[in-house]
Amino acid sequence: MTTIIRATGAHDLLALVPVLAGFLPERSIVCVAFRGARSAGVLRHDLPRRAKDRPALVSAIIGTLCRMPGVDAVVPIAYTDATFAAARGVPERGLLSMLVRRAGQAGFGVRDALCRAADGWGSLLDPDTPAAGHPLEVIDESPAARRLPADAHTSGSPAEAGRLPAVGGTAVGVVRAELEAFDDLERSVVQFERLGHATDPVTLIETLLLGEPAGQPPLRLAWFLHLADRPAFRDAMMLQLAFGPQIGELAHDDAAATASRAAEAGETVDESVRRELDGDEADEASELLGRLLLGQTSVRPDHRRVRRALDLVRWAAAHAPAEHRPGPLCMAAWLAWALGMGSAAGLLIDQVLALAPGHTMASLLSAFIGSGALPEWAFADPASDVSDR
């Protein structure tokens, strides 16, 4: 069954999508999934450039919707730089029509099928949609957008989180000087005295998350980058950023044991972790951490915490000298993936491989995320989620 949201309601939904998704979509097909009257998630894919690529994309979207517990309806929305004038009607009509048909065949209600183009917006399912589309100003002036909470988070585009903030060379030079001090035995003692309790990696992460990224002292950023250069610490801090200090404690204890086993086996920590994940050697703690790392759990991380963490790690990476950037960039890529921002994760991984071709962690993330893998928590019913949201 198809329920049409008329223009008085559809423009409100279009005004809300950037907040629901966390970004302003561009050249995208966005599907807003519903459980009853409430939105249950937003799926985004790049618009296919060729008509022959549409069926595979639609199949992937329908397959994802089928994995989302309780989802019973959807509104597909095309965001395009094409125009109603050039298309002589709703742009991306072919893709939207295919999605409407396949969603209905899969048992989903289709509440509307919308397009926001460069010169207007409209509904594929509303026969009263003007040939030139409705004015975009109707979306911008929607009362729904004005009722959003003041702290509603949106970024400019789905790829924005894949770019690093602009940082001056002087700021990078200050962090470089702090980093170099950690490699000098006498100077490092002074550094640790200045860090105080933040010398402990678990305390460091929680301290960093308490403040704004731009307010972090160069010394703390340098210590974070120093640890992020070391795979065992990098992965432990990454899991703590997403899941909290208790997981951080467990991950750091496990990291020390993994590093010891790797040294005995004459392999890198990344190679040791990969071997343990592929085999049956991991103990109970390592197995749990491995599942979290691969997203093989329905226990979702705190969405707001992960967003803060992603902003923090991107800020730290922007202050890092080039040779110290791969570690935090890998962490940022995983955090973006945990939030469902595959485009951003891909851009971050590309930056690592440009700096360090063949980088082990970046190569593993590229293969894993590039395969279309999604964390299981993306499909969990939030009503059963006991995490602190």
Q: Which amino acid would we find at residue 267?
A: E
d(CA 310, CA 326): 15
Assess whether 298 and 362 both reside in one domain: yes
Range of the domain at 379: 169-384
Looking at the fold, whether 135 and 211 belong to one and the same domain comes out as no
Domain ends where: 127, 158, 189?
Answer: 158
CA separation (Å) from 82 to 24, 85, 215?
16, 9, 41
pLDDT at 154: 56
Distance separating alpha carbons of residues 306 and 11, to the nearest angstrom: 30
Whether 389 is in a domain gets the answer no
The whole-number pLDDT of residue 72 equals: 93
User: What percent of the chain lies above the pLDDT cut of 70?
Assistant: 84
**Could you report the per-residue pLDDT of 151-164, keeping only the tens digit for each?**
445 555 666 778 89
Domain-embedded: residue 101: yes
Q: Are 148 and 197 in the same domain? A: no
In a domain, 98, yes or no: yes
**2 found inside a domain:** no
CA distances from 371 to 61, 67, 266, 346 (A): 15, 17, 30, 12
Secondary structure letter of residue 73 according to DSSP: E
User: Of 125, 158, 191, which closes a domain?
Assistant: 158
Give the domain-ending residue among 130, 158, 186. 158
Whether residue 333 has pLDDT greater than 60: yes
The answer to whether residues 197 and 324 belong to one domain is yes
Q: 369: pLDDT confidence band, cut at 50, 70 and 90?
A: confident
Residue 346 has pLDDT above 60, yes or no: yes
Q: What is the pLDDT of residues 119-142, one digit of tens each?
A: 999 999 999 899 999 999 988 888
Closest alpha carbon to 350 in 360, 362, 361: 362
327, 225 contact by CB (below 8 A) = yes
Q: Is residue 164 part of a domain?
A: no
Q: What is the pLDDT of residues 294-330, one digit of tens each?
A: 988 888 898 889 999 999 999 999 999 999 999 999 9
Residues 128, 201, single domain; the answer is no
How many domains does one find in the chain?
2
* pLDDT at residue 200 greater than cutoff 90: yes
**Is the domain of 176 the same as that of 149?**
no
* Co-location of 231 and 356 in the same domain: yes
Domain identity same for 23 and 139: yes
Contact assessment for residue 44 and residue 30, using Cβ atoms and an 8 Å cutoff? yes
Residue 100 belongs to some domain of the structure: yes
Examine the domain organization and report whether 124 and 248 are in the same domain.
Answer: no
In a domain, 211, yes or no: yes
Are 214 and 336 members of one domain? yes
Query: Does residue 141 contact residue 294 with C-beta atoms inside 8 Å?
Result: no
Same structural domain, 198 and 331: yes
User: Do 173 and 224 lie in a common domain?
Assistant: yes
| Domain contains 191 | yes
CATH number (domain holding residue 134): 3.40.140
* Best mean pLDDT range from 126-135, 219-228, 378-387: 219-228
